[in-house]
Structure 1
């Protein structure tokens, strides 16, 4: 008996503006519904094309095959195909974005805040040439730097977690495809519990992979 199909809502993240993405404004409808009633399956959004298991699996499988071609399975070779390299080449855009956000937040914004604060404190000295307008600019700069730092920190957490989830989904997709291609003899030697344990416990470690990379 087939499970009933649930019509999911269109994902508002698909057409969200940059400001909506930065402030998470596109999630307001979900919170509004959740504040009045218990959310159900019909309230969930359809996954983005970049988050679909077939899309993620195809991308990782492509780079994994490149690893197999570059490092064939030979006993004399010490270098083996690397799943980490395949994952890195699959999600290098997301990882580069994480690096850019981190560098901008740590090098520019974090250093700018004490500098702006120091310039603002000069205004409160008894003998100072700083005008009220200049002090106001420094205060606005401090507020803007702090707001940008908060936004970037939240975006970093979301992108890092999303990249980890995508890598986990991609690996699970490859494991599922591999299981479908196994022969009967190979299936008899592999217990279902081992496969379930790999997909439910071990693969979950990929959720924090982006933080480590």
Structure 2
């Protein structure tokens, strides 16, 4: 009574809303969860590990896989391709493992078209634009110009909130984690994910 099908969990948010922190905490709590590893045609950056951060492949390889419909979602950003290979995701789902996707609303739309039955989409909102800007500045990672660009882009990103199954206002990190835990528990418990239920009920009816 334990075999279930895994979930594809999308976490999206404007930069600075807390998505990365929430994702790390969720992964730390679950051995049967893993991040989706995208394929990309760009070169590895300093500190990135092939097979862990990305699968780095050539443009020719990517386009060949694209022609074979081997991606659940993909995009071309600044002349480089990024995409989610379908085969490893499906293998993980079949094994009862959950896959977390750190993608934007465009990627979420493509995943919805490709695998809606396995997908749970969560959008993380900041409590206010003032707080969002404060968080971006407190990271001390970006220039003022970059922060301004991120703030401008956040308006477009936030406008897609209604396309998600769940929306969390990340005002308090602990409360946000409690909500995500509740969402994951409820989605895991759905009847369609419990692969053991059919045989179990049949045996129950037959008095076994």
TM-score, L = length of structure 2: 0.23
Q: With a CA cutoff of 8 Å and minimum separation of 6, indicate the structure with the bigger relative contact order.
A: 2
Question: Which one has the largest radius of gyration?
Answer: 1
Higher strand share: 2
- Greater helix percent: which structure? 1
Relative to the length of structure 1, the TM-score reads 0.22
